[in-house]
Structure 1
Amino acid sequence: MSTNLDFHTEVVLREARDEDGRGIRDLIAGVFAEYPDLVFLDEEFPELARAATNYRNMGGRLWVLEDGREIIGSIAIVRSGEPGIDELFKFYLHKSRRGSGLADVLFGKALDFARSRGSKGIVLWTDTRFVSGHRFYEKNGFIRGREERELGDASNSREYVYRRDL
């Protein structure tokens, strides 16, 4: 995928490489910085050291969006612990690009991958504070479950579970 948006730079969707870990880290840290009570600590994200390999080893893939200067979006998908169900991870988009349709591009890539291998559904966990993300998921057919979990991290994160059939 390659598109030229109003931002005057080409945006490219590609499979991530291990060396993209720093850019993905910066993207996530930037999203966390939008919330006064979220803290990004490198030690809480060890998978970013070899991000592409990590998700491939889990039977999945990681993709990034880049605009020539930096990584502006990411999404990963792996097999979950439930048979026939995939799980989304690392679904982030730079604040300046939200509302541009790029979240749909990332999500579509993950959906295509899940469907291509016969997945029956997708699950994801999302921080309770990411309200705009919740709206995106619900708009795209996800239903919030009753389960919640605490991560025990530096941000005292609580997460909701969302599920969608394919």
Structure 2
Amino acid sequence: MDRRAGVTDVTNIPIRPATDADGDAIAALIAAAFSEYEGCVFDRAAEFPELDAIASHFSARGGTIWVAEADDSVIGSMALAPAKDEDAPAGGLEIFKVYVAQAARRRGVARALFDTALDAARAAGAPEIRLWTDTRFADAHRFYERCGFTREGPARECHDLSATWEYLYRLPLGAAGHPQG
């Protein structure tokens, strides 16, 4: 066991669809991630009410949220649902709720979650995957770029408690559902 990571075997990270009961564990991931950045405010009731029924929330949107587990604990999350942005292509999908416990980072957890989402996007025949990410999350930006995403356009203001600005990242998929480029 790698005690620093709290992950026993990163070559075979268990990924499963989340249930509504995983909302508290996902909330803990988000709160911990936000605590790493000055000015990031985690207010579950005001800005994250979907965590009370997280799987149902994404199911109602036509999507899925997955969690990664180690030692019976949720150590990561990622969701995929139809994109709602006006400029998103028909059938385009969006990634949400990408969080990995700090002790489990750089161990392949985010990549395993992304590969799960990418497989689902391919199966759906999605023309692209997109996501919005806080401008402060530089490590996440590097991860998305390693996965083939490119940042596009100016940052948008979210008008939330954290005074968030977000970048758009896009990953066009080819006809066979493979990243283009």
Query: Does TM, scored on the shorter chain, surpass 0.5?
Result: yes
3-state secondary structure, aligned to 2:24 = helix
Cα deviation for residue 147 of structure 1 reads: 3.4
| % identical aligned pairs | 44
Alignment match, 1:132: 139
Aligned residue in 2 for 1:14: 16
The 1:143/1:67 distance shift into structure 2, 3 A limit, reads same
Structure 1 residue ranges, 4+ long, deviating more than 2 angstroms after superposition:
5-12
Deviating more after overlay: 16-25 vs 59-68:
59-68
- Is residue 2:49 matched to residue 1:64? no
Classify the secondary structure of the residue corresponding to 2:93.
Answer: strand
CA displacement 1:91-141 (0-9 Å, x = unmatched) = 111111111011110000000001001101101000000000000111111
1: CA distance between counterparts of 2:48 and 2:82?
Answer: 19
SS at match of 1:40: coil
Give the match for residue 105 of structure 1. Answer: 112
Distance change >3 Å, CA 8–CA 159, structure 1 → 2: closer
Q: Work out the CA distance in 1 between the residues paired with 2:157 and 2:103.
A: 29
Aligned AA for 2:42? F
How far off is 1:152 after superposition? 1.0
Q: Structure 1 residue 151: deviation in Å?
A: 1.2
Give, as a single letter, the amino acid of the residue that structure 2 aligns with 1:116: A
- 1:37 maps to 39
User: Whole-Å Cα distance in 2 between the matches of residues 86 and 17 of structure 1?
Assistant: 21
- The residue that corresponds to 2:101 in the other structure is 94
Partner of residue 119, structure 1: 126
- Structure 1 residue 69: Cα displacement: 4.1
Paired residue type of 2:31? A
Amino acid at match of 2:100: L
8 Å CA contact 2:7–2:104 kept in 1: the answer is: no
Structure 2 equivalent of residue 50 of structure 1: 53
Q: Please, which runs of 5 or more residues in structure 2 have no aligned partner?
A: 174-181
Question: How many corresponding residue pairs?
Answer: 162
How far did residue 149 of structure 1 move? 1.3
Tell whether 2:26 aligns with 1:24: yes
RMSD: 1.4
